[in-house]
Amino acid sequence: MKKISARHDRPQKKNIVPIMLNAAIPPGSLKDKWPYLASRLPQLPPEKKEKSNIIVIGGGLAACAASAALAEQGYNVKMITKVESPIHENTSYMRGGLNASRNYANDGDSDERFFRDTIEYGSRRSREADVYRMAQLSGRVLDTCSALCVPFLRDEGGMLLPRTYPGGNTARSFQARGQTGRQLLQAFHAALLRQKKRGKASIISRRETVEIAIEQGHARGVITRNLINGNEEAWPADAVVMACGGYSDIYNSKPNPLSGGIIPLWAAYRAGAGFANPCFSLDLPGNATKWKIVPEDYNAAHRCSGGLWVDYQLRTTITGLFAIGEANFSTHGANCMPGNAPLQEISDGLFILPAVIGAYLSKTKLPEIRETDAAFTKAMSKAKNRKQKLLAIHGRTSPEEFHHRFSAIMRDKAGFIRYSYRLQQAIKEIRGLRSEFYRDLLLPETTYYNITYETAEKIAVCLEFGELLIKDALLRNETCGAHFRMDYAPDNASSSKSEGTLVRVWFRQAAGEDIPIKEMLKFTYSKKADEHHKKKHKTETKHG
Amino acid sequence: MISGKEKEMAKKAAKTFSVQLRIWRQTNRHTQGRVVQYQVNGITADMTFLDMLEKLNEKLLKRGEIPVVFEANCREGSCGTCGLIINGEPHGPGEHSVTCRLTMKNFNPGDIITVEPWRIKSFPIVKDLATDRKALDRICEAGGFISANLGSSPEANAINVPKEAAEEALAAASCTGCGACIAACPNGSAALFVAAKLAHLSIMPQGEPEKNSRAIALVRAAEKEGFGPCCNNGACEKACPRGIKKDLIAKMHRAYLKALLGMK
């Protein structure tokens, strides 16, 4: 396999060339891959860790876990979040549970079974090696959470009492009475505060990350906009971690209308990071028809199934830029199994990231960098220009109105049910809305804590991202996850045209064009199981 | 028949009304604030209070005025971001209410509604209705954590936690850090917040070793941040969206005294 560096070697033609992106999966059987890599990754000496600066973008569970783990190992961590305190972040309203394959219910659970369930649940759209690693680490994640005082449900004997999800056969979901997200977030926030007290971590709050600064091909920091005074600020570092969550801003659905991490994600995409599978997942296995859901009723997106493309070591296509948690794409597939979301966030942040970031820094010689260097001044002027462009419009339509019109287009034409002609219509409408936005946006005359500008900034990105999402949907001639193409419905004769198992990764060209590249997913764990799965699926659809 | 009734109900729900708002406006923490009166029209009973404020903001924006800053995130009462004093009550009318879940059903046409931010010395106003609650994080930083290194913990079931203890800890740990208890307290005391933190971490066996040092650290940190002493009037319990019990405050005092005396 040839590793392509997406920034330098993008295909020039618009034809989709099936180049393989190198996922850098270590050799060996599935269960040996992570132990093999973890014991061979080069390590950074402690004294160098003390001198390394890392920026973590985001304030949720993944960001707190990563920042706490990195700071504990000696790195100097700056966590940049748009909220006032991480305890108010979006993880706090995750209800479900935390999955771990500990087999505490003695119902035959194991890493292997957990792994298979996740792969099948995700309609085989997630990367096998990554999922297996998550299953392997799940036990240690649970142990850590328990040690950090997360009050999970217990039985009369004082032992942990896992629950089974509807549709599942094994009890592996550890819950805290509908507030698992809050409890996990609080635990890792507290762990981070412990590091803050030690002076190893700092929380830079109320900042929106608007640009990634790249110096000689390496991500060397970020530009943020201070939400309070409106000023752009430069934050140099040795590595940048995207832990900003997903892009659920796209649909104006509760909870979290416009509170996702779409702005930092888009900043990374603009800077050259590949964006994989821009779509959403259902919280149901298989696809919606299997569960007899009336598609009209189901317009809420459960979780972002895509995100920044990362290889096995959580590296995006920009050197020095890592993506963890919901910000990356690798473990959930078309459907996210309930309880896997917080697990991935913690396992990425706690165990995988510290190992791979150490390896990166030990192999890379980075020159000193200052806020006044070209990378920052360039990125800063880009950010300022974008802001000035919006502020100089002086139109008559409020950002909220644009938001409603945008989300109406997304929900009607690019929601759960999709027709290719409607998708094409949606692209046209979004382009129309975008030109109107830059002609007629109304903003108040204030610079200090301008919440209206915040909305406008989000809409500007949503108008770009929405188009990418639809472009991706148009290429997917299939029904899978929260993507119900009526012209490719499973009970339709053309369902055999299903795309198969691939990840579509988008890259933005300098001219502003979006180019897709495929990463074909390989499944090795059991061919027999595959065939059985296929057969079962076929008979089911026949009867259905 | 039924459809007729439904139609009538829908009509009733669609009936719009207007209210008068008296809102605290303050440009930033260094300037003097003032109450400004606005009228909001076209309100329906099923609108949330925050939807209504957004409607006001649309109106202000169109008139060339600066919209009212208020903060909210999940809009379902879980995240703890929002928090307004409405007609003198933190999170609005009713016990255990949350601002973002408050609907306009609670108000009548023509009502004059007073909207203020949390009025606490230790929560400086950022702008209008938004306050800075980082003082709560600073209290936790003083010792509101378990000093366990990450990733090297014993197996989860090696630590036995009695069911009652886990339930009690969860009830205390459901605090969202919204600050309503402090806003409700005539003394501006953070006792319920600190007590909930202490209870969560000290009830569980994992937090037992640091029980004493934590009690002293957190109580002193709250004092240092300028929060007042507890006056035991119970307003905090009623204001808490999670219904955290004020009994925990007594337990906190006990733990603090025991820690000072060096008792186990």
Judged by a CB distance cut-off of 8 A, whether residue A440 touches chain B is no
List phi, psi (to 5°) of A276.
Answer: -100, 140
Q: Is residue A36 part of a domain?
A: no
CA B237/CA B185 separation, integer angstroms = 10
To test the contact with chain A by mutation, choose from B145, B176, B197, B204 the residue with the greatest count of A C-beta atoms within 10 A, namely: B145
CB contact at 8 A, A361 and A338:
no
Q: Which of A376, A535, A543, A526 is nearest to A30 (CA)?
A: A526
Cβ–Cβ below 8 Å for B167 and A104: no
The length of chain B, given as a count of residues:
264
Q: What are the tokens at A511?
A: 């001219």
Res. A503: pLDDT tops 90: no
Residue of A193, A205, A347, A455 to mutate when probing chain B, most B C-beta within 10 A: A193
Determine, for residues B176 and A88 on separate chains, whether the beta-carbon distance falls below 8 Å: yes
Note whether residue A503 is domain-resident.
yes
If you count residue pairs, one on A and one on B, with CB atoms under 8 Å apart, how many are there? 188
Tell me which residue range forms the domain holding A215. 53-531
Cα distances from A267 to residues A210, A458, A516, in angstroms, run 6, 12, 18
Q: Are A295 and A304 in contact (CB under 8 A)?
A: no
B176 and B72 in contact (C-beta within 8 Å)?
no
Please answer whether residues A505 and A308 qualify as being in contact, where contact means their C-beta atoms are separated by less than 8 angstroms: no
Q: Which residue has the tokens 């640091």?
A: B210
Q: Evaluate whether residue A160 is within a structural domain.
A: yes
Q: Note whether B156 and B63 are within 8 A (CB).
A: no
Q: Sort out which chain B residues have CB atoms less than 8 A from A400's CB and list them.
A: 54, 57-58
Q: Residues with Cβ < 8 Å from A479, sequence gap 6 or more?
A: A287, A289, A485, A488, A489, A490, A495, A498
User: Which residues of chain A does B63 touch, with a Cβ-Cβ cutoff of 8 Å?
Assistant: none
- Residue by residue, DSSP assigns A31-46 as HHHHHHHHHHS----H
| Cβ-Cβ contacts under 8 Å for A199 (sequence gap 6 or more) | none
Average pLDDT value over all residues in chain A: 86
Q: How far apart are CA B83 and CA B70, in angstroms?
A: 9
Question: Could you give the strand order of the β-sheet that contains A201-204, starting from the edge strand earlier in sequence?
Answer: A201-204, A76-80, A53-57, A239-242, A321-323
Q: Return the ∠ at Cα A370 (arms to A369 and A375), rounded to 5°.
A: 75
Q: How far apart are CA B142 and CA A138, in angstroms?
A: 30
Question: Among A162-171, A245-254, B199-208, B246-255, which stretch is predicted with the lowest mean pLDDT?
Answer: A245-254
C-alpha B169/C-alpha B248 separation (Å) is 11
Q: Span A138-147, mean pLDDT?
A: 97
Backbone angles phi, psi at B3, to 5 degrees: -65, -35
Q: What is the second-level CATH architecture of the domain B2-127?
A: Roll (3.10)
Under the banding of pLDDT at 50, 70 and 90, the label for residue A334 is confident
Contact B40/A at CB under 8 A: no
What is residue B121's predicted lDDT score, i.e. its pLDDT? 92
* pLDDT of A18 over the 50 cut: no
* Residue in the structure block whose two tokens are 């903001």: B57
Vertex A349: Cα angle to A346 and A350 (nearest 5) = 75
Using a pLDDT cut of 90, give the percent of chain B over it. Answer: 89
Put simply, whether A176 touches B (Cβ < 8 Å) is yes
Position A541, amino acid: T
Give the pLDDT confidence score for residue A4 in this predicted structure.
46
pLDDT at A256: 56
Cα distance between residue B119 and residue B72, in whole Å: 18
Q: A242 and chain B: CB distance < 8 Å anywhere? A: no
**Least CB–CB distance from B144: residue in A147, A177, A193:** A193
Per-position b or e across A276-293, b if 16+ CB within 10 A of its CB: bbbbbbbbbbbbbbeeee
Instruction: Please name the residue of chain B whose CA is at the shortest distance from the CA of residue A93.
Output: B78
Residue with tokens 């409890």: A183
Mode of pairing for the β-strands spanning B130-131 and B125-127: antiparallel
- How many domains does chain A contain in total? 1
Give the C-alpha separation, B75 to B98, whole Å.
9
Cα distance between residue B243 and residue B245, in whole Å: 6
Mean pLDDT of B156-171: 95
Q: How many C-beta atoms lie closer than 10 Å to residue A174's C-beta?
A: 29
- Residue A353 forms contact with B (CB below 8 Å): no
Poorest-pLDDT segment among A31-45, A292-306, A395-409, B175-189: A292-306
pLDDT score of A456 more than 50: yes
Q: Which residues of chain A from 247 to 286 reach within 8 Å of chain B, CB to CB?
A: 254-257, 259
As a whole number of angstroms, the distance between CA A137 and CA A140 comes to 5
Tell if the CB–CB gap between A193 and B137 is shorter than 8 Å.
Answer: yes
Quickly tell me which residue has 């950074």 as its tokens.
A44
> How far is C-alpha B158 from the chain's CA centre?
35
Residue range A450-467: mean pLDDT, rounded = 94
Ranking A234-238, A338-342, B254-258 by mean pLDDT, the lowest is: A338-342
Antiparallel, parallel or unpaired: β A479-480 and A483-485: antiparallel
Which residue(s) pair with B19 in the sheet? B40
For residue B23, the cross-strand partners are B36, B115
Q: DSSP string spanning A319-382?
A: BTEEE-GGGB-TTTTTBPPTTHHHHHHHHIIIIIHHHHHHHHHHH-------TTSHHHHHHHHH
Q: Is residue A12 part of a domain?
A: no
| Residue with the two structure tokens 């920009």 | A318
Residue A23 domain-assigned? no
Between A73-87, B69-83, B181-195, the lowest mean confidence (pLDDT) is in B69-83
Closest by Cβ to A256, choosing from B74, B145, B149 = B74
Q: Does B159 touch chain A (CB under 8 A)?
A: yes
Q: Do B73 and A69 touch (CB under 8 A)?
A: no
Question: Distance between CA A104 and CA A375 in Å, rounded?
Answer: 52
Under CATH, to which class is B134-260 assigned?
Answer: mainly alpha
User: What are the residue ranges of CATH 3.10.20.30 in chain B?
Assistant: 2-127
Farthest-apart Cα atoms in chain B, separation: 74
| pLDDT per residue as tens digits for the range A211-234 | 999 999 999 999 999 999 999 999
Between A92, A143, A191, which is nearest B156 by CB? A143
Residue with the larger pLDDT of the pair B33 and A123:
B33
Residue A490: give its domain's CATH number: 3.50.50.60
User: What's the rounded Cα separation, in Å, for the pair A371 and A380?
Assistant: 10
Contact map slice: A 155-174 vs B, CB within 8 A: 155-160
Task: Please say if the pLDDT value at position A497 is more than 50.
Answer: no
Q: Higher model confidence: residue B14 or residue B219?
A: B219
- Would you place residue A518 in the very low, low, confident or very high pLDDT band (cuts 50, 70, 90)? confident
Supply the DSSP symbol for B91.
Answer: T
pLDDT tens for residues B117-127? 999 999 999 99
ipTM: 0.94
pLDDT above 70 (res A320):
yes
Contact A88 B73 (CB under 8 A): yes
Provide the residue type at A453 as one letter: Y
